Structure 1
Amino acid sequence: MTLSPHPNTLLTPEEVLAWFRTNGISIAGWCRENGFSRNVVNSLLHTRLPGLRGQAHQAAIALHLKAAPEQAQVGGNHE
């Protein structure tokens, strides 16, 4: 199951938690199915971890908390 009906739509941690509840999916089950540490995902969803690097970064993308690098907007005009 996908978290977001539109792949480019970013969600808040509260929206992700609501999605888990609505769909009857446990965080631990989602983590097992997607290969992420439950501790990392819980830290992302409770905003204790920003998801800047490594598994936290990959999990934040999978949870639609942040855009994938190829979809992210790069700031500034580089002339």
Structure 2
Amino acid sequence: MSIRKKLNIREGDYLQVYLENNEIRLRKIEPVRPLSAEDPIWRLIGAGESGKADVSEHHDRYLAEGEIRRWKK
């Protein structure tokens, strides 16, 4: 069985690539799950100053974009 099949890696999946000792390692990264409407984080929306007027509407997208930027570093 192929490694891709064993790890359920499909085209478009995100992988973290890192060096550990003298080995190159790969790790599949699961996407960020959207929050439910009942999540307490929604009470905090608007409490801080991000400079973005649409944080409550696009909260999950901003979180996902931040995670992708962090993964790519």
Normalising by structure 2, report the TM-score.
0.31
Higher helix fraction (1 or 2): 1
The structure number with the bigger radius of gyration is 2
Higher strand fraction (1 or 2): 2
Q: Which has the higher contact order (CA 8 A, sep 6+)?
A: 1
Normalising by structure 1, report the TM-score.
0.30
